[in-house]
Amino acid sequence: MTARRALDLRGRVVVVTGASRGLGFAVARAFADDGARLAICARDADHLQGARRELEAGGAEVFAEPCDVTDADAVERFVAAVVARYGRLDVLVNSAGVMSLGPVWTQTLEDFHNAMDTMFWGVVHLTLAALPHLRAHGSGRVVNVTSIGGRLSPPRLLPYACAKYAAVGFSRGMHAELAADGVAVTTVVPGLMRTGSPRNVMVKGDRPAEYAWFALLANAPLITMSAERAARRIVRAARRGRAEVILGAPAHLACWTTGLFPGGVARLSAVAARMLPDAPRRPLNSRRGGTLESGLTASPLTALGRRAARRLREHPEESATGG
Give Cα separations from 303 to 143, 219, 296 (angstroms): 30, 8, 11
In the predicted model, what is the mean pLDDT of residues 11-39?
98
Residue 243 has pLDDT above 90, yes or no: yes
Q: What is the pLDDT of residue 161?
A: 97
Which of 71, 57, 33 shows the shortest CA–CA distance to 313?
57
**Any catalytic annotation for residue 160?**
yes
| Helices within the chain (DSSP H only) | 22-33, 45-57, 72-86, 109-116, 122-135, 158-178, 207-218, 227-240, 249-260, 262-275, 303-311
- Selected from 3.40.50.300, 3.40.50.720, 3.90.1580.10, 3.40.50.2000, the CATH number assigned to the domain covering 10-311 reads 3.40.50.720
Query: In 3D, which of 98, 80, 102, 76 has the Cα closest to residue 89?
Result: 80
Residues 198/156, Cβ–Cβ less than 8 Å: no
pLDDT level of residue 1 (50, 70, 90 thresholds): very low
The CA radius of gyration of the chain, in Å to the nearest whole number, is 19
pTM of the predicted model, to two decimals?
A: 0.94
State pLDDT tens for residues 162-183.
999 999 999 999 999 999 999 9
pLDDT of residue 3: 42
Mean pLDDT for the stretch of residues 250-267: 94
Looking at residue 323, its pLDDT comes to 40
Catalytic residue among 86, 160, 165, 211: 160
The per-residue pLDDT for 42 is 97
Average pLDDT over residues 262-271: 93
315 pLDDT band, cuts 50/70/90, is confident
Residue 145 bridge partners (DSSP): 188
pLDDT digits (tens, 9 = 90+) for 70-84: 999 999 999 999 999
**Mean pLDDT to the nearest integer, 287-298:** 94
pLDDT at 261: 93
Mean pLDDT, residues 273-286 taken together: 88
Give every CB contact of residue 266 below 8 A, 6+ residues apart in sequence: none
